[in-house]
Structure 1
Amino acid sequence: MKASVMESYGGPEVLRCQDVPDPRPRSGWSLVAVKAAALNWHDVLVRRGGYRSPLPHIPGADGAGVDRATGEAVMVLPSLWWGRDDSAPGPDWEILGDSRPGTYAELVAVPTECLVPVPSGLTWAQAAALPLVGVTVYRALFTRGRLRAGESLLVLGAGGGVATMAVSLAAAVGARVWVTSSSKAKIDKARELGAGGGVLYGDPGWPEAVRELAGGFDIVLDSVGLWAESLRVLRPGGRLVVLGASAAETAELRIRPYYFGQYDLLGTTMGSERDLAGLLALLERHRVPPVVVDRVFPLAEARTAHEHLEGGSGFGKTILEP
């Protein structure tokens, strides 16, 4: 089969399309003929060596395709062996594409329990883009964040897959949503998904500016690591939900304002199969637009796709198609 393989850690140039052996079938696993694979920032960290993946390695967590055994159109849940405790993953938990070959290939082997039918009406690209960001955002907003209709939510960033999914899901359940962004154009696109507006984070006073717009937020969804700034926009008793550190690896917080503010600081990651079931049920109950697809590249152009993702100019998900 054809696959995008990295033989070393580094920049996008380490991704090269090669012929590799097909994965071997085994009990409890299914082979999926990949029709589309979605890129995530997680893949960039894998490529850079952040997860010490074995080399040579095929990255890729998200995918959709055809189950070779049944002929069914399926999506891949990249969260493997979460366990039965919904509060946190168990010791065997891993993400597809970290230590095992991922979805940047014509075929991928996946535990059968991690396959679900593709929801009706989705293209292959939209189906591939749904599981990782969908489950991650569902867990962040609802399982961990306890978001309810009528509450206010600030999403840091407006262009990536997590942000666009967060705006869509929160608006669908009746929350009031705002965003931050590097460009007015992305804020305008977020409005089309249901956001009420946003501010440019290049302005050092953006926390005060966005707080003035909404009067304080019940929840801030922070995928970049700006904890101190996020706390400045929360109302008393608000929740800061953290799921990334793309802008900062450390944070310094003033302790007294934190506890006098009665704030919750909630860490979260990709979720379990129960979170996926909750996401699919939400999509059944509410009118939620499909995942925003920004650009589609051939599998052989994985390097270019990663360059596009890291460039930060896109709005929505970047897709590879074998």
Structure 2
Amino acid sequence: MRAVVFRGKDRPLAVEPIKKFKPVKDQVLVRMHNAALNHRDIWTWREQSNVPDNGVILGSDGSGVIEGVGEDADPLLIGMEVIINPSLDWGTNPIVQGNSFRILGYPDNGTFSDYMVISKKYIFEKPEHLSFAEAAAVPLSALTAYRALFSKARLRAKEKVLITGVGGGAALWALQFANAYQARVYVTSGSDEKLAKAKALGAIEGFNYKDPLWAEQALKASGGFDIVIDSAGGPDFGKFLEIVLPGGRIVNFGRTAGNISELATRLLYWKQISIFGTTMGTRDEFLSMLDFVESRSLKPVIDQTFSIDRIQDALARMEDGSQFGKIVLQIK
């Protein structure tokens, strides 16, 4: 079988032949059809220096067909078309992950391979209205967006939501989820082309964050936001306190723009603003997210599909930030 194996920080990634896995105990063997990239794959590749001797197969998102089962798994699962939950061992507290929590793809072997083995508790039936490629573009980003919007921000219909950095997978899922929930959605991007595409998907207005006056423009256009969903952090984070309404909620799940530098403390307490950090989500949230996607027949925005042999091209596409939607790998 083939796999994309991470063997060390910044070392070139390529498809390698490795020994085919065998499922044990409660595991299933999944023949992967598609996988999808996340910024996490870039960060792992660029930043992680603690790598096992045998390396780690990257990839958190994937879909495929069960071809084998371990001792304690139901043989009737064989042939099932599945989507994989990459949120491993969350723990018992729904508010925060436990000490054993991991995300599929590092340090556990992930989805960028012909086959993978995983506990049966992390596989779910693929939504019928999604192709394998579409299903692969769901798990990590849709779960992240769902928890941010509904579990953390407690979105209500008709509220005004600002989603930053539209173009990434989680931001686009947040846009689709909020639209489906009858929110009024605004977006930011550094690309006017991406802003236009987001408006075609239902955003009311978009603001180019490269314009130093973008926050003032957003406040004037919206009258203020109930919720900000942010994946960037960075120096612009402080502007959110100025443009959210009293009682506003700000949720962050990323650092593409770096660390947050300064916040106006008086605005934080006087406007009674809530700031939440969030990562991934629970099994129950994954199930609720899948139900939301199925019941509303939502589909991911896919930017481009690469064969798994072109993993370096796929990573370069994500690194240059030009994508609009998920970058998918074709495996089978």
Q: Which TM-score applies when normalising by structure 1?
A: 0.96
Q: Could you list the per-position Cα deviations for residues 219-251 of structure 1 after superposition, in whole angstroms to 9, with x for gaps in the alignment?
A: 001100042022221111100101011101233
Deviations 1:28-65 (A, max 9, x none): 21111110000000111111134834352211010000
1:157-176 → structure 2 map (5 Å cutoff): 157-176=165-184
Distance 1:214 1:191 in 2: 15
Aligned with 2:317: secondary structure? Answer: helix
Match of 1:280 among 273, 282, 290: 290
Residue 156 (structure 1) aligned with residue 138 (structure 2):
no
| Alignment partners' CA distance in 1, 2:207 and 2:34 | 34
1:41 is aligned, of 39, 42, 45, to: 39
1:190 shift after superposition? 0.7
Q: Which moved more, 1:59-68 or 1:253-262?
A: 253-262
Residue by residue over 1:282-306, the C-alpha shift from the partner in whole angstroms, topping out at 9 and shown as x without a partner, is 2244353x00111010111111100
Number of equivalenced pairs = 319
Aligned CA distance change for structure 1 residues 192 and 317 (closer, same or farther; 3 Å): same
In structure 2, what is the equivalent of residue 301 of structure 1? 310
Contact 1:51–1:98 (CA<8 Å) still a contact in 2? no
Deviation larger for 50-59 or 126-135: 50-59
Matches within 5 A, 1:51-66: 52-55=50-53, 56-66=55-65
Q: Is 1:2–1:19's contact at 8 Å kept on the other side of the alignment?
A: yes
SS of alignment partner, residue 15 of structure 1: coil
Superposed, 1:1-322 pairs within 5 Å as: 1-10=1-10, 14-50=12-48, 52-55=50-53, 56-69=55-68, 70-225=78-233, 226-288=236-298, 290-322=299-331
In 1, Cα distance between the equivalents of 2:256 and 2:52?
A: 23
Given that 1:77 and 1:115 are in contact with CA atoms closer than 8 Å, whether structure 2 keeps it comes out as yes
- Given residue 319 of structure 2, which amino acid in structure 1 is its aligned partner? E
Aligned-residue offset at 1:147 = 0.5
- For 2:73, the equivalent position in structure 1 comes to none
**Whole-angstrom CA distance in 2 between matches of 1:292 and 1:144:** 24
Separation in 2, partners of 1:202, 1:230: 15
| Structure 2 SS opposite 1:230 | helix
In 1, are the aligned partners of 2:231 and 2:254 still within 8 Å (CA)? yes
Q: What's the secondary structure of 1:138's corresponding residue?
A: helix
Q: Which runs of 5+ in 1 are unaligned?
A: none
Change (3 A) 1:49 1:29: farther
RMSD: 1.3
Alpha-carbon contact 2:229-2:252 (below 8 Å) kept: yes
User: TM-score scaled to structure 2, two decimals?
Assistant: 0.93
Report the residue type matching 1:23 in the other structure: F
Give, in angstroms, the shift of residue 254 of structure 1: 2.1
> Is the contact between residue 7 and residue 51 of structure 2 (CA under 8 Å) also seen in structure 1?
no
